[in-house]
Structure 1
């Protein structure tokens, strides 16, 4: 069956969408996929949810969990109403291992993993109620609604983790990954607090009781990026926050974030965001 990539236009500062989906009755279904993560709540009607090689008969109250690699398609009978939440993982995960726990049901799955949580499950009822509350916040847009939406989403993800953990559907090998992270936890915490200053490789390696060479290799294995890339990502994220939230000049932000020169700051920021610092600030309305 053919598939097509779906692209969403997220808000830059809040990559999140909540909407209703009504399925399709196309006799030749087209599976789609996207770079973001997706949750479905069956609000009413009936049909079939095709996710990868599995097909599920849609029943009111069900929850579906769909990751960024899974081809999927919702087929309706006479009527179908899905409450759909779509978000970029960056909304939740800021490189730390603890944040990653929220996303494990999307990425760390056993072969027996089931995308569906049935409506008689206590977690389905609680998660469904939270998703409806998220929709209400997004619709009413009261002051601070994005703060509330993110808080509610984090609870949804925590409950998903609890459900799939209790069901034994999350890979046990992650425990080894967490043990590995604990070996460099002090060094990572130090880097997170001091990234705007020069980071001495020997110093952070000593915090983990490793040689500099072994620390560099081990750090990349655990964090999926090397030390330089990790520090740079922290500086870019901090710079973006300062550009959005303060009136500091670009030069001041460059210095505050620890970049060695303005030209280097401009170049690396644009490479990471596709916009120069000045263009990025203009895009936020400041």
Structure 2
């Protein structure tokens, strides 16, 4: 099983889609990818965002631009006291206006942006404010005016300095390499199960490889041993949980996939330089 290829909702009368997704409880948290480029504005809810091998917190106002075929998801696990999850999402294909449209001289900056988006981009500052307004306007607009708004949005985004790249170059190159379907399969399994007691043998079985061959394969692709990758993933996830209000360290320990508190404290401090409690106090101003 690979990350799920999602089909974007679009009518035959439009070349690209702007959809509002509303969930009564939480986002589906499906680790997925698609051929379309995506701009996602979180309107309500908070939790943990995963783009490629990058993990971070998200809240209302979060604005992310994601390149085609880059796996991603938004998770609400462990979040308390919210009523719904809502997002406004723009999807468009690279060839929606012809195969060479973005290769025209006038679109040079936009083409560079599309290449850059393969790592995922978090949009901040004044650019986030302006693009949020444009995206909300596009939701209510049709015809040529909707196209004009999209071009304006891409023009502003392509020249902005308020952009932060997310996923690592190593991850992006690894999933773009020939034979990357196997790595997608491995990574999808890890992202859906890292918060459990995941081990090398079971992931090797997913990849249809022996444990020793898998270890060599994984290290050559991700440039770090499998066990270290899993520990860093768990600690990164724990960091985001600790920044949420009213989360006990013991609760975060088990939710992020550690089996005992002493090992959690040891690994967390080794990677962050702080104990989990000290990290929580530092980042939540408690």
TM range (shorter): 0.3 to 0.5
TM-score, normalised to structure 1, is 0.47
TM-score, normalised to structure 2, is 0.47
